[in-house]
Amino acid sequence: MKIDIDPGAGFCFGVKRAIQLAEEALTRDGTLYCLGQVVHNEEEESRLKNLGLQVIDNEFFKTIKGTTVLIRAHGEPPETYKIAGKNNIRLVEGTCPIVLRLQDKIRKSYEEARQHKGQVVIFGKRNHPEVIGLTGQTMDEAIIVDDEKDIEKIDFTKPVCLYAQTTKNKDVFELIKHKISMGTDIKNTHFDANNTICRHVLNRDEKLKGFAKGHDLILFAGGKHSSNGKYLFSLCQAVNNHSHYIGGVKDLNPEWFEGIQSAGITGATSTPEWLLEKIADEVKALTES
Ligand code: SF4
């Protein structure tokens, strides 16, 4: 049986960078706190934990002093930096540079919007860490639009400046943008739409569908809580009925491979390459035995 690993799979640049920074700090200091999980992948979390990385939450973060904390690729709101400054906490800045630039744009738009009674709108998932970091640039005044219903929260008599969480779906963004533009057109209001979805995510969809179509069976490796994983898996399922979502090698079922000529292995943006390779080795062992 032919076994292929999706060349587009593996960590995105931002996550790779944050992990590299964590590994460097762990080699130097032996232990490191991280505010929230670096990646939503149980296997990678456990690898980093074994290296000395300790995941903490916001409440615990407020209680520590004089130590080092990693900021993950999703970024943090300004409040986190204030607390770190006050409590003499050294931050390892793992925020993805693309997210940092987006935070900066949103902060500037917010400052402008305040002068013109405008509104900053963020198309994103409520309570997602990246979105918390983005709305933090607006004193939490940005309007979060998670789906079409949320558009009702926008006041169409006032200017609107729209941004997108970097990992959102481009088709839904276009739909939201269209609906907002209808409201702003009627009221003759200024509307500035910024598609800030990351290129890594934008390009992935079509390539992934092509990869899933080109194999008899797809093994999609992702964490239980990875929203990006669930979304990307749905793309595979849409074009290949033999798609399976797995956490790791323990979830493989030998029966899946009966009569299968080719298997494609892929995963979420938070799935490490080493895990895909481990799965490929295990499938090889299962099907050759
Ligand atoms: S998806 Fe893009 S913006 Fe988000 S962390 Fe990865 S590289 Fe950065």
Domain ranges of the chain: 2-9+202-288, 13-96, 98-193
pLDDT at 128: 93
pLDDT on residue 216: 97
Does ligand 1 come within 6 angstroms of the Cβ of 226?
A: no
130 an active-site residue? Answer: yes
**What are the 10-residue block averages of pLDDT along the chain, 289 residues in total?**
94 93 96 93 90 97 97 97 98 98 98 94 95 98 96 96 93 95 90 94 89 98 84 94 96 95 93 94 91
Query: What CATH class does 2-9+202-288 carry?
Result: alpha beta
160 touches ligand 1 (CB under 6 Å) = no
> From ligand 1's centre to the CA of 235, what distance in Å?
19
Closest atom of ligand 1 relative to the 199 alpha carbon: 2
CATH number for the domain whose boundaries are 13-96: 3.40.50.11270
Best mutation site among 199, 269, 271 for ligand 1, i.e. most ligand atoms within 8 A of its Cβ?
Answer: 269
Residue 100 in contact with ligand 1 by CB distance below 6 A: no
Q: How far apart are CA 161 and CA 150, in angstroms?
A: 15
Cα–Cα distance measured from residue 155 to residue 143, given in angstroms and rounded to the nearest whole number: 10
67 to each of 25, 88, 128, 242, 285, how far by Cα in Å?
12, 7, 26, 48, 45
Catalytic residue among 43, 45, 76, 130: 130
Q: How far is the CA of 269 from the centre of ligand 1 (A)?
A: 9
Distance 94 CA to ligand 1 centre (A): 11
Q: Please state the pTM of the whole predicted model.
A: 0.87
Same fold yes or no, 2-9+202-288 and 98-193: yes
* Closest ligand 1 atom to Cα of 12: 6
CA dist 197 and 202 (Å) reads 7
- Position 203 scores a pLDDT of 80
Query: Hey, CA dihedral for 274, 221, 17, 174, is it positive or negative?
Result: positive
Q: How many residues does the chain have?
A: 289
CATH of 98-193, one of 3.80.10.10, 3.90.1150.10, 3.40.50.970, 3.40.1010.20: 3.40.1010.20
Predicted local confidence at residue 97, as pLDDT: 97
